[in-house]
């Protein structure tokens, strides 16, 4: 009986693993990018991607998913660098994300 239960649990976990719950949308993409507003995480981790945007702001440029190019804008003054905003530079039609739900044991 224990062997059957183990086999059933393994079969169910493989069937339900990695279910995609929703079609990709711009709204979810926007939610994911807004998470980093007013944080110092982007300037700290991706210091090598920093470029000058204008006389007041730096920009950190990323491409994900392929074709969607966006950037995080940070302050350029003497204070600690903090993400102020983000902008899509090109490929808005590709800027879509979806939620992945993974069930694992």
Q: How do residues 50-92 score in pLDDT, each as one tens digit?
A: 999 999 999 999 998 889 999 999 998 878 899 999 999 998 8
The per-residue pLDDT for 104 is 47
Q: What tens digit of pLDDT does each residue of 47-60 get?
A: 999 999 999 999 99
Given a cut of 80, is residue 15 above it in pLDDT? no
In this structure, are residues 29 and 92 in contact, taking their beta carbons and an 8 Å threshold?
Answer: no
pLDDT tens digits for range 22-34: 678 888 889 889 9
Q: Which residues contact 40 (CB under 8 A, 6 or more apart)?
A: 80, 81, 82, 83
Cβ atoms within 10 Å of 11's Cβ, excluding its own? 10
**What are the boundaries of each domain within the chain?**
22-98
């Amino acid at each position: 009986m224990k062997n059957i239960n183990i086999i059933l649990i393994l079969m169910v976990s493989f069937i339900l693993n990695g279910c995609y719950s929703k079609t990709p949308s711009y709204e979810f993409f926007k939610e994911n990018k807004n998470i980093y507003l007013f944080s110092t995480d982007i300037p700290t981790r991706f210091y090598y991607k920093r470029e000058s945007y204008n006389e007041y702001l730096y920009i950190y440029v990323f491409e994900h998913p392929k074709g969607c190019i966006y950037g995080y804008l940070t302050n350029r003054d003497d204070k600690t660098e903090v993400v102020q905003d983000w902008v899509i530079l090109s490929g808005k039609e590709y800027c879509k994300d979806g939620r992945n739900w993974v069930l694992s044991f």
